[in-house]
Amino acid sequence: MQLHGMLPIVPGCACLVAICGLVSGMELYPRLGKSFDLKTWTNCRMGMMGWAFWILCFAVKQHQTFGHVSKAMMVSVVLMEIYIFKFFL
């Protein structure tokens, strides 16, 4: 990390200063090694893939609970999945 990422960002932050800086966005693209971008991995891979998984889980739960998936749920799921698919293109 750069030196400014080690300085306190949030006054009174009880967490480790480097972690606090990372979470609050001071270090824009922290890397592990030369090619593994930690922030992109957590935001893009875990966040977006988790979002895609959860919206499908909610549709399945609605089908299990009510015996069908409502039109509003179908439209919502399809639009969000298209958005997530386009994100990875």
Q: Are 29 and 40 in contact (CB under 8 A)?
A: yes
10-residue mean pLDDT series, the chain (89 residues) = 50 60 62 78 83 94 96 96 88
Q: Indicate the domain borders of the chain.
A: 1-32, 37-89
Which pLDDT score is estimated for 71?
96
Give phi and psi for 50, each to the nearest 5. -65, -40
